[in-house]
Chains A and B, each alone.
Chain A
């Protein structure tokens, strides 16, 4: 099983450019998440999708949009990249319900110059 697959693994953007980070899971999970990881800040939730067709904001949603394309795929879009969005982005998925394990992808390292 591939688990949670993120593309691309690395990306450099210029300020103002747009891009979409792709995420797909093959575990038949209902819930999917996007986190960003910054030094000393831990993992902060950007958006999540509890089930296909629903999305909700997390702690740091500004500057991002998401699309739950189907049960497998959950994409994160930066419409106009800013240097403050330089980070490592992780997609995760889990079964629905409280107290279930979240499975993470390997991350996308994004640099905005």
Chain B
């Protein structure tokens, strides 16, 4: 089964800065990579997802960068705001074509005002 390794475990960024969270996966055949955002006391919610036929996907201040050869994908949050403070999870299919997801360990992001 696919494993996904996420780093860092925690991150503190000043307001207006760029937050960067990285994930590494094992199998290059996998082809769907979502990021989930979780606020305290809530369940995770889909933030943004990418398929590896593109190297980058942008939605507002959130960007996923995908490096297939390195088997890595990253979440960039531009102009980080205190409201972005949350835990972020990357994920990947458990195996090729799988519907169920395997999640990374999570990154607790804190944006200082």
**Chain A interface (Cβ < 8 Å from any Cβ of B):** 4, 31, 33, 35, 40-45, 48, 50, 58-59, 90, 92, 94, 96-107
**Chain B interface (Cβ < 8 Å from any Cβ of A):** 1, 6, 9, 31-32, 34, 41-46, 49, 51, 89, 93-94, 97-106
Is there an interface contact between B99 and A44, defined as CB atoms closer than 8 Å? no
Min Cβ gap B7→A in Å is 12
* Chain B residue nearest to A47 in the complex (CB): B100
Min Cβ gap B74→A in Å is 17
Is there an interface contact between B45 and A98, defined as CB atoms closer than 8 Å? no
Min Cβ gap A75→B in Å is 17
Is there an interface contact between A42 and B99, defined as CB atoms closer than 8 Å? no
Given A43-B106, A96-B99, A98-B32, 12 new contacts (CB under 8 A): A40-B105, A42-B89, A45-B94, A45-B100, A48-B100, A59-B1, A97-B99, A99-B51, A101-B49, A105-B43, A107-B41, A107-B43
Min Cβ gap A22→B in Å is 15
Min Cβ gap A97→B in Å is 7
* B46 CB contacts on chain A under 8 angstroms: 101-102
Is there an interface contact between A98 and B43, defined as CB atoms closer than 8 Å? no
* Chain A residue nearest to B45 in the complex (CB): A104
* Chain A residue nearest to B96 in the complex (CB): A98
Min Cβ gap A100→B in Å is 7
Provide a sorted-by-A list of 22 A–B residue pairs whose CB atoms are within 8 angstroms.
A4-B43, A33-B100, A40-B105, A40-B106, A41-B105, A43-B89, A43-B106, A44-B103, A45-B102, A50-B99, A59-B102, A90-B43, A90-B44, A92-B43, A97-B99, A98-B97, A100-B99, A102-B101, A105-B43, A106-B42, A107-B41, A107-B43
